[in-house]
Amino acid sequence: MSVQSVSKVNNITFLLTGFPGLEQEYPWLSIPFSCIYAMVLSGNCLVLHVIRTEPSLHQPMFYFLAMLALTDLCMGLSTVHTVLGILWGLSQEIGLDACIAQTFFVHGLSCMESGVLLAMAFDRFTAICNPLRYTSILTNTRIINMGMAIVGRSFLFITAPIVRLKFFHYCRPHILSHSFCLHQDLLRLACSDIRFNSFYALALVICTLLLDSVLILISYVLILHSVLTIASREERFKSLQTCVSHICAVLVFYIPIIGLTMVHRFGKHLSPVVHVPHGQHLYPFPTLDEPHHLQCQNPTNTQQVPEMVHQTKLSTRGPCVLTMGK
């Protein structure tokens, strides 16, 4: 590639889409979005602080919860500057390099979150179906190895298609569908041969999103089978209670992703008004999760958690998207 071509590629900028038709309302929209992001970031930091400083929470299930909070915190940080930048009127443009970097972190962290949810399902399966060997199976060393495997799977496998985005020729109008960069959005604007990226991304989604969801489903089928063999109704309720918050987290993660995937794959002809709300719902809007985990996963620890967490129950789940396919 010549120096002139490289310079031309590096000067490419894209226009981010906020809320079509509501441009005059951005100053007002920025207030709730700023508050939501503040709750997402501060809530996850609070969860990490509580787990770190409270000795009674130094258990495998709370280590996984800390991984989930850290993932959501990083996800919020990766999108906050573009989302609020648009609403505050700072900038609606993003350069190619910055867009590719954001795409890398958004998809990598989404894959990481899926892996953490799978690890949490394995934790609940071990605790309920094999309680006597729980501490010997989920040792600190194994938890660290699982965390490293999740990070490696999340970022190593997406590197190839993300790097290729740098060398594509973008001849279509440089207008993205959301207020952040996504792999499928950039593919839509490219005029180069994108077959490798399309098929690789589809295979990656199947091997991560689909496989993780199937394994989580299997784990809960086995958990349910194990719980039903318990004679006492009260003991059944206690066993299932520890899984409720995790099931909610799984549903909140996977259901919106399925919706966004359907929109991008089968709704390309639809108005941007349809595309934008799906993406905006996934990224800035959090759900009741991590502080809820602190109470639901082990109710006996509720009184030991600082009063701020117990009373506020702040929303801390950040954005999540794994739909890399075109």
What tens digit of pLDDT does each residue of 252-290 get? 777 777 666 666 555 555 555 555 555 555 554 444 455
Question: What DSSP character marks residue 25?
Answer: G
Confidence label for 302 from pLDDT (cuts 50, 70 and 90): very low
Rounded alpha-carbon distances, angstroms, from residue 131 to 61, 123, 135, 234: 13, 10, 8, 17
The pLDDT, as a whole number, for residue 261 is: 64
CA 193 to chain centroid, in Å, comes to 29
φ, ψ at 170 (rounded to 5°): -105, 95
Query: Residue 93: in which H helix or E strand, if any?
Result: strand 93-95
What would the mean pLDDT of 82-98 be, rounded to a whole number?
90
φ, ψ at 190 (rounded to 5°): -85, 145
Burial class, 247, CB count within 10 angstroms (exposed 0-12 / middle 13-18 / buried 19+): middle
The pLDDT, as a whole number, for residue 29 is: 87
Confidence label for 172 from pLDDT (cuts 50, 70 and 90): confident
User: Among residues of the chain, what percentage have pLDDT more than 90?
Assistant: 34
- Between 254 and 120, name the one with better pLDDT: 120
The pLDDT, as a whole number, for residue 309 is: 45
Res. 318: pLDDT tops 50: no
Highest mean pLDDT among 7-11, 123-127, 223-227, 279-283 belongs to 123-127
Res. 251: pLDDT tops 90: no
Query: Residue 14: in which H helix or E strand, if any?
Result: strand 13-15
What would the mean pLDDT of 180-186 be, rounded to a whole number?
89
Confidence label for 238 from pLDDT (cuts 50, 70 and 90): confident
Res. 8: pLDDT tops 90: no
